[in-house]
Amino acid sequence: MRCQMTTRCDDQTGFSMMEVLITLLLISISILGMVAMQAQSISFAQDSVQRNTAAMLAEDLMEMMRADSIRVLDVTGLPRDQSDYYKAAGEEFPAEPVSCSPLPDAAEARLGCWAARAQEALPDAAGLSEADFHVCRSATPNVCSATGSAIEVQLAWRVKDGDCLDAAVDTAADDYDGTICRYRLRAEL
């Protein structure tokens, strides 16, 4: 076929249907990738907000105990074996007093006020507060004992299965529950 100067050749005009379909396929794959990335970003942001809330609550309790150190520390400056601020895993928190404003004088009442705030601020914390929350003297992480110089505060909240970004969770453990996230703060007063 010979092309003339005044007309175009038929085999050189426009895009073929195959080129258009390939372009649409590539654009569709790109858009699906962006949507998946956006969903993961939302999940990470939500986890970040919940962890930040848990960190603030744990720090608030530590500061409360630091301000009332006579009820937490002995004469040597180490945490007491027993304190009204302590709560072992498996025990219930003290009941919330009638009023938390101003903060009550009794350590047990203060702990009740703090627990009520934690249960309101974290998703399903009320259902986890007995088994998965603890405030205790600790020599090693995640082990409450009457030894050690640190106080450990653990909080927990519930998420969709697989959305918890806990780095130190053993997913092969028998008691693993992918819907529970935990935050631990250990500090010396």
pLDDT band at 78 (very low <50, low <70, confident <90, very high): very high
CA dist., res. 93 & res. 152, Å (int)? 16
Start-to-end Cα distance in the chain:
91
Percent helix, strand, coil in the chain, to 5, is 40, 15, 40
pTM of the model: 0.79
H/E segment holding residue 110: helix 107-121
More confident residue, 173 or 83: 83
Which of the listed ranges 8-12, 33-37, 58-62, 123-127 does the model predict with the highest average pLDDT?
A: 58-62
Q: How much is the average pLDDT of 60-87?
A: 94
36-40, 55-59, 67-71, 150-154: segment of lowest average pLDDT: 36-40
What does each C-alpha distance from 3 to 7, 12, 13, 15, 144 come to in angstroms? 7, 10, 12, 19, 89
Q: How much is the average pLDDT of 128-152?
A: 91
pLDDT digits (tens, 9 = 90+) for 85-129: 999 989 999 999 999 999 999 999 999 999 999 999 999 999 999
Give pLDDT, residue 16.
86
Give pLDDT, residue 136.
94
Give pLDDT, residue 15.
73
Domain ranges of the chain: 50-187
Number of H helices, E strands in the chain: 3, 4
Q: How much is the average pLDDT of 2-8?
A: 57
- Mean pLDDT score across all residues of the chain: 88
Give pLDDT, residue 164.
80
Give pLDDT, residue 43.
83
